[in-house]
Structure 1
Amino acid sequence: MLSQVGVPPPPDDFADFWTGLHQRARQVDPAPVARPSGHPESSRPGGSTYDVEFTSLGGIRLGGWLRLPADGRVERGLVVGHGYGGRATPDAAVPVERAAALYFGSRGLPTRGLVPGIPDTARRHVLHGIADRGTYVHGGCAADVWAAVSALCRLVPEAAARVDYLGTSFGGGIGALALPWDDRITSACLVVPSFGNHPLRLTMPCTGSGEAVREHARAHPEVHEVLRYFDAATAAMFLRIPTHVGLALADPAVPPPGQFAVYNALAGPRARFLLSAGHTPYAGMVREAEALSTAQRDFLAPLGPAPPA
């Protein structure tokens, strides 16, 4: 059963690897800048939108959008990731009130994370630097989450009172990898998180980025050792903040056992929302998406150090 999917054990130096990466990333000055956005979303009611740029690990300059409440009253922050298709626009609505929300682009991915030398398509991006744990792109993508938090808190100091994270698919898996090591993040919502239980994923054909990794690993079995350091389920064993997870019972792109492995491994307070499917249209999809959004808002709503367990 999905609720019994296990977790790959971490390498002995798993925590050392990630805390070291986090320390190096936090030493980077994000040097954020924001300017009023000309994006169509900026004209929607309910808040103001700014174009944002900031620096992440390796001196990579990334972009995104910052949305502020219409009345300018900020009591918290929200960092929002994206799927493996990237992000072309900020969301029209911020899922919590009185929040400054930063919608950022991860390195290499469209539209505001595009970087020369890093592939911009999922099947190529997921293999970038995979031969070594020190060069694998997912380490840099986790660092981008930390840099986004730094940029948000620098641009809107009031947001530092409480910062939450929201990520779907690619953004869910990268969030699981990044969040355990950064004590500035209070709680998280992950949806159909990817990269969970690589040993199991590599046995399961799919339509997503995991298929590219599966094919590559057949020809290059040595990458199994690298992937041990980038397993979202393994990282979830170290994630102790309250975490809400949207889980799909069927998913052609991110096999459900990997998603459930992330949820099952969480070390802190957790809540789940079951979706009929992920990464594919289905009857009732809009209704379930609305219900999931409501559940996320309820989970993130309380102000203070953390939502109730």
Structure 2
Amino acid sequence: MANGLAMRILPVGWSIGLPILAVMSVCFLGVSRLSATSSWDGKTQAEYVVTVETEKPDALYKKGEDVTFKITLEQNKQPVPEGKVYWKISKDNAEPVQNGTADIKDGVATVTGKLDEPGFLRCDVNFASPSQGNLTAAAAAGIDVTAIRPALPVPDDFVAFWEGKKKELAALPMDPKMTEVPAPADRPGTRVFDVQIACTGGAPVSGYYSMPTDAKPKSAPALLIVDGAGVRNSDFLGPIRYAQKGFIAMTINAHGIPNGKPKEFYAALDSGELKDYRVRGRDNRHAFYFVGMYLRVLRALQFLQAQPEWDGHTLMIMGGSQGGGQAIAGAALEPKVTYTFAAIPGLCDFAGATAGRIGGWPKPIPKGPDGKPDPVVVEATRYADGANMATMIKSPIHFYIGFVDLITPPTCEYAAYNVIPGPKSVDNRPANGHNHDDPKFWTMVSETLVNKAKEQQGGAVVTP
């Protein structure tokens, strides 16, 4: 079948066992999480619930291997004797797409497809319930995920382009402006500063910096937390939480805008001046908005290194979604970064459509009059593509990937992950979309960063 996508309906049947996410390989971390998504949010009362899951526990398959999706339909927690569900199978929500219906028998139906290339095979299911309207669920299978590669090669002058940007940044003094603000009463032992730092790329760095009150010179690991998509104040509590754990820490907003303003101030920017930031300058590699954003990340990392309390070694960066893409860029541009946590990272593999697959968030490449990706934008955006940035990362990095993520598609995330030359690990979440369904997610992130900092300060072998 065209583009390597094939699917067919198989007879009704039960999947084997209760799927949980297993250890994938020496570099993959296992978690106990069902490889399925459900129409039920797990909180509100629901008469009907439709669920779909892959037959394999880890949702990992080979090229050309049949992928069976098990669909279940319950009413008041009991199998529905007979019914009909609608399904769609796609290549990670991109063409080619096939649709059909499946007959439920004793609460179960199965749909099978396959993909003859590395990527993700996604199954979306819809049930028209008589009492709740349309109920949807989705599952996805990773197909030879370690073989996924970026749609385009790294530009020949990519490194030179960024070396030029770094040289321009180095010529501009940081000139930090630090205004101490009161720490929350329930966060003792910390100092907090509203910080602005001069930066190239069209805007200053703007964020909050926090440190332990009793921090001694050359004693503390450093952490930069970068922001997800949107227009908002810098996270105030984020760096304070880590200062309580012994870090010097900083959060920056993505746009270099003032901190501590009323919500209306940020809402006005979001709907006005910064409304189009995701695609601004996309036809010019120097003007593309994310180039300036990455420079602000680099400058913030330089600021942390300039603090007398920094231990001189441990420099970490963490972010999710847009922040995950920024974290990748920070680790690429600053070789002194010692650990990176990139959750559901965006800004990777923009040019996916040139390879007949989905492109990475924010999908900045429009189609031209001929229906093909605009070649000017394709070329310009390559210089801010996280999949190209990833090739420069030498320090340990950890990815967290949701298989049913429609915002930052897993195909694009793996395209970046697979070309990282340094130590790396990945946490596969077959059931997750663009969220953190695991209630222990932030605890896990915090414990990971704290433990990695202890390892590095203790002189242990650096691991991802």
* Counterpart for residue 15 of structure 1: 159
Aligned equivalent of 1:76, options 213, 218, 221: 221
Q: How far does residue 205 in structure 1 lie from its aligned partner after superposition?
A: 6.6
Would you say the 8 A contact 2:358–2:412 is kept in 1?
Answer: no
* Counterpart for residue 310 of structure 2: 159
* Counterpart for residue 414 of structure 2: 260
Q: Note closer, same or farther for the CA distance 1:295–1:20 as it changes in structure 2 (3 Å cut).
A: same
Task: Give the Cα separation in 2 of the matches to 1:192 and 1:136.
Answer: 22
* Counterpart for residue 274 of structure 1: 428
Counterpart secondary structure, 1:302:
helix
Q: How far does residue 164 in structure 1 lie from its aligned partner after superposition?
A: 1.6
* Counterpart for residue 383 of structure 2: 229
Q: Give the residue type in structure 1 aligned to 2:222.
A: G
Answer yes or no: is 1:249 the counterpart of 2:403.
Answer: yes
Larger Cα-atom Rg: 2
Q: Give the residue type in structure 2 aligned to 1:10.
A: V
Q: Give the residue type in structure 2 aligned to 1:25.
A: L
Would you say the 8 A contact 2:283–2:381 is kept in 1?
Answer: no
Would you say the 8 A contact 1:189–1:245 is kept in 2?
Answer: yes
What is the count of residue pairs matched by the alignment?
300
Aligned equivalent of 1:303, options 452, 456, 464: 456
Task: Give the Cα separation in 1 of the matches to 2:244 and 2:379.
Answer: 39
Answer yes or no: is 1:186 the counterpart of 2:338.
Answer: yes
* Counterpart for residue 35 of structure 1: 179
Answer yes or no: is 1:61 the counterpart of 2:170.
Answer: no
Would you say the 8 A contact 1:31–1:54 is kept in 2?
Answer: yes
Answer yes or no: is 1:98 the counterpart of 2:246.
Answer: yes
1:206-221 map, 5 Å: 209-211=361-363, 213-215=364-366, 220-221=374-375
Would you say the 8 A contact 1:186–1:242 is kept in 2?
Answer: yes
Counterpart secondary structure, 2:193:
strand
- Which is worse superposed, 181-190 or 133-142? 181-190
What whole-Å deviation, never above 9, does each CA across 1:238-258 have from its counterpart, x for those lacking one? 111111222222212111111
Counterpart secondary structure, 1:63:
strand
Counterpart secondary structure, 2:296:
helix
- Which is worse superposed, 87-96 or 43-52? 87-96
* Counterpart for residue 171 of structure 1: 323
Would you say the 8 A contact 1:26–1:147 is kept in 2?
Answer: no
Q: Note closer, same or farther for the CA distance 1:61–1:97 as it changes in structure 2 (3 Å cut).
A: same
Q: How far does residue 201 in structure 1 lie from its aligned partner after superposition?
A: 6.1
- Which segments of 5 or more consecutive residues in structure 1 lack a partner in the other structure? none
Task: Give the Cα separation in 2 of the matches to 1:160 and 1:135.
Answer: 36
Counterpart secondary structure, 1:93:
helix
Answer yes or no: is 1:291 the counterpart of 2:439.
Answer: no
Taking only aligned residues, the RMSD between alpha carbons, in angstroms, comes to: 3.2
Task: Give the Cα separation in 1 of the matches to 2:189 and 2:428.
Answer: 29
Q: How far does residue 194 in structure 1 lie from its aligned partner after superposition?
A: 0.9
Task: Give the Cα separation in 2 of the matches to 1:306 and 1:17.
Answer: 35
TM-score (norm 2): 0.58
Counterpart secondary structure, 1:48:
strand
Task: Give the Cα separation in 2 of the matches to 1:292 and 1:186.
Answer: 16
Q: How far does residue 95 in structure 1 lie from its aligned partner after superposition?
A: 8.2
- Larger helix proportion, structure 1 or 2? 1
Would you say the 8 A contact 1:96–1:301 is kept in 2?
Answer: no
Q: Note closer, same or farther for the CA distance 1:60–1:281 as it changes in structure 2 (3 Å cut).
A: closer
Would you say the 8 A contact 2:205–2:256 is kept in 1?
Answer: no
Q: Note closer, same or farther for the CA distance 1:42–1:277 as it changes in structure 2 (3 Å cut).
A: farther
* Counterpart for residue 348 of structure 2: 196
- Which is worse superposed, 102-111 or 171-180? 102-111
Counterpart secondary structure, 1:226:
helix
**Higher RCO, 1 vs 2 (CA within 8 Å, ≥6 residues apart):** 1
Task: Give the Cα separation in 2 of the matches to 1:296 and 1:205.
Answer: 32
Q: Give the residue type in structure 2 aligned to 1:103.
A: T
Q: How far does residue 267 in structure 1 lie from its aligned partner after superposition?
A: 0.8
Q: Note closer, same or farther for the CA distance 1:94–1:278 as it changes in structure 2 (3 Å cut).
A: farther
Q: Give the residue type in structure 2 aligned to 1:184.
A: K
Q: Note closer, same or farther for the CA distance 1:9–1:85 as it changes in structure 2 (3 Å cut).
A: same
Q: Note closer, same or farther for the CA distance 1:108–1:50 as it changes in structure 2 (3 Å cut).
A: closer
Aligned equivalent of 1:49, options 183, 192, 204: 192
TM-score (norm 1): 0.83
Would you say the 8 A contact 1:190–1:243 is kept in 2?
Answer: yes
Q: Give the residue type in structure 2 aligned to 1:302.
A: E
